Amino acid sequence: MKSLGKDMSWELPARSTTRVAEVERLEQPTEALECWRYSPVDDIDWERYQGSRSVTHDELWARGMEILAGFGEVDATVRVDGGQLIREERETPGLAVNQAEAVGEFLREEDESLLSLGTLLAPGRVEIKVDTPLRRLGILTAGTGDDAALWSWLRLLVAPDVKIEVIHVDLLSGSVLHLPTLEIVGQERSSIVYRHQLEHDQRALSLGYVRFRLATDANLELDAASAHQGYTRVRTDGVLEGTRAQAVIRVGYVVGARERVDYRTFITHDAPSTTSNLLYKGVVNGDGTSIYTGMITITPLGRGSEAFQTNRNVLLSDEALAWSVPNLDIQISDVKCSHASTVGPIDEEELFYLASKGFPAEEARRTLARAFFADMGETFIVEQQRLRAAVDEKWEAGA
């Protein structure tokens, strides 16, 4: 395989001989690796992305604020432009936000060379520490440019017994390559609701990583909605390392013509009586593609744990594609685990029922597509509204 950095002119922050050597050591990912199977990674022209990023324009920030406002009032807002923290004048008790030098903290496995690259080239790690309860925190991350490469690294650390809801709006504009890393650390008895909203230009390429660690009695609800994208890939690695830690992940996506979403999940239960419940649902139209591969591992320390993994896709056209490969690795008895996967067109019986009620065929199909996300829970309402609007928009565009 070719090196990711040997022929690139990407500028390293605080350039050093060590950093240059590390970047040049990294090898390009390939579809031959299991965690990249079904992806178009072999077709990416890495050398294309030599341009410099642009400062995010006001219209893009305004779009982010509009999405953020849909979730209600926030106590504070953190803004990150192209991986660089934008300092805000306002201080919020219990909240500390800093940008730290963070060289060398990355995974070294060959198949995760992009995670290594992203953390090496990030301007620094934006650290958000919460040590008293906050009702709601807003995060806006943005990047824009023509054929530009962007790197960002965000870490959220929530102290013991703290409860917080985070609304993170992720904006990309232009033909950018973005390698974002998001880390969430929940300490003992913390409760985190993290709502991640992706709004990407169709020309953008985003290959991101989400990592979380949960201590004893910590709870994480990770909700995500992807309504517009080019090729967006998110690999999620989570470790439930404390007794009774719980993680719920719900992701909804609408994919239209020339769009692709790619989700990879690796959840490890490494303590007794831990729980995870994953639900990924998507509507795919035009020649769009969705990919889901997942692995739930319950180690010998995970006695009494429960783990559930579900991926469901509805295809609205003959050209639409969906790959779905959930897996389980159970290394101990006395656990409850299941996985489920469905890929197919809209249910004919449901179409027949709506036809019997007087719905025209096209309206019936559109109604059922919009209703596909209805069972994702009452706390997923705002995300449902965004996804339904995306169904309407892409339907009307014939995509």
pLDDT tens-digit readout, 235-277 = 999 999 999 999 999 999 999 999 999 999 999 999 999 999 9
- pLDDT of 104 > 60? The answer is no
Say how many C-beta atoms besides its own lie within 10 A of residue 394's C-beta. 23
- pLDDT of 156 > 80? The answer is yes
Give the whole-angstrom CA distance, residue 365 versus residue 190.
42
* Mean pLDDT within 386-392: 92
pTM over 0.75: yes
Q: Which of 225, 238, 372 is nearest to 294 (CA)?
A: 238
Cα torsion 53, 59, 65, 68: sign = negative
- What's the pLDDT band for 107 if we cut at 50, 70, 90? very low
- pLDDT of 27 > 70? The answer is yes
Give the whole-angstrom CA distance, residue 20 versus residue 16.
6
pLDDT tens-digit readout, 216-235 = 999 999 999 999 999 999 99
- What's the pLDDT band for 14 if we cut at 50, 70, 90? low
3-state SS, residue 390? helix
pLDDT tens-digit readout, 158-171 = 999 999 999 999 99
Position 373 scores a pLDDT of 93
CA angle 230, 233, 236 (to 5 degrees): 155
Q: Domain boundaries in the chain?
A: 54-240
3-state SS, residue 146? coil
- pLDDT of 110 > 60? The answer is no
Any alpha helices (H) in 49-199, and if so which ranges? 58-69, 113-121
Rounded percentage of the chain residues whose pLDDT exceeds 70 = 92
* Mean pLDDT within 305-330: 94
Give the whole-angstrom CA distance, residue 256 versus residue 273.
40
Distant-in-sequence, close-in-space partners of 272: CB < 8 Å, separation ≥ 6: 243, 244, 301, 302, 303, 304, 305
Between 15 and 311, residue with greater pLDDT: 311
* Mean pLDDT within 124-153: 93
Give the whole-angstrom CA distance, residue 384 versus residue 4.
38
Contact 186, 159 (CB under 8 A): no
* Mean pLDDT within 353-382: 88
pLDDT tens-digit readout, 31-40 = 988 889 999 9
Contacts 24+ apart (CB under 8 A), 103-112: 103/14, 103/18, 103/19, 110/27, 110/33, 111/29, 111/33, 111/34, 111/35, 111/36, 112/35, 112/209, 112/235
Say how many C-beta atoms besides its own lie within 10 A of residue 277's C-beta. 16
- What's the pLDDT band for 121 if we cut at 50, 70, 90? confident
Between 151 and 22, residue with greater pLDDT: 151
- Distance of alpha carbon 172 from the chain centroid: 14
pLDDT tens-digit readout, 353-365 = 888 888 888 888 8
